[in-house]
């Protein structure tokens, strides 16, 4: 990057208009020392601006927030019966619907996600959508962490397969 800035400065701060055509003319320039000093001061100022850790985190957070769905992974662990009552001495356990379970993973470096809206879609054998159901996971998902989700529901009749996807997320800036 320093080489690019050096070449840029050479074209802008040459001694006369004829020296713009050739960089070797700069060796004979009487202002060479002042140009190099100016370039060094510009580099120091740019480094102070670009290397500021909070500014870099803020810029990265903006990038991660604009592409938030790229940084969220959903691992579906399937579903199990939703037990409403344990088995007793003379009664069987009672079940009502199923629980869809899985893990949501944040791969972002600084962005914190929360209120993750998921959509559960049920398909028939022919690929027709039977039903769509949305649910929201109301938890904070810190950078490079994961959370477990569980959603109770009933599977519609004639369901052959299902898909769970993340529709949207809310973000906030992390100062960590």
The pLDDT value recorded for residue 21 is 42
List the CATH code of the domain at 68-172: 2.60.40
Q: How far is CA 171 from CA 86, 94, 115, 142, in A?
A: 40, 40, 9, 10
On whether the CB atoms of residues 123 and 130 are closer than 8 A, the answer is: yes
Per-residue pLDDT reduced to its tens digit, 83-97? 777 877 877 767 678
pLDDT over threshold 80, residue 75: yes
Q: Which two tokens stand for residue 159?
A: 């369901």
In the chain, where are the structural domains located? 2-51, 68-172
* Phi, psi (deg, nearest 5) at residue 156: -65, 155
pLDDT over threshold 90, residue 105: yes
The pLDDT value recorded for residue 119 is 95
The pLDDT value recorded for residue 109 is 84
pTM for this predicted structure:
0.61
């Amino acid at each position: 990057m320093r080489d690019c800035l050096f070449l840029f400065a050479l074209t802008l701060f040459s001694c006369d208009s004829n020296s713009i055509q050739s960089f070797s003319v700069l060796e004979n320039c009487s202002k060479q020392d002042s140009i190099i000093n100016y370039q060094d001061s510009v580099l120091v100022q740019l480094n102070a601006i670009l290397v500021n850790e909070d500014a870099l985190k803020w810029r990265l957070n903006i990038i991660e927030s604009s592409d938030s769905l790229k940084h969220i992974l959903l691992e579906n662990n399937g579903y199990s019966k939703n037990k409403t009552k344990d088995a007793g001495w003379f009664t069987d356990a009672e079940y009502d619907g199923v629980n869809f379970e899985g893990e949501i993973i944040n791969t972002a470096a600084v962005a914190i996600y929360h209120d993750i809206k998921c959509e559960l879609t049920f398909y028939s054998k022919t690929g027709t959508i039977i039903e769509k159901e949305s649910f929201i996971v109301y938890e904070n998902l810190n950078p490079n962490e994961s959370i477990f989700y569980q959603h109770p529901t009933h599977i519609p009749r004639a369901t052959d397969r299902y898909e769970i996807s993340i529709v949207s997320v809310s973000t906030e800036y992390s100062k960590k």
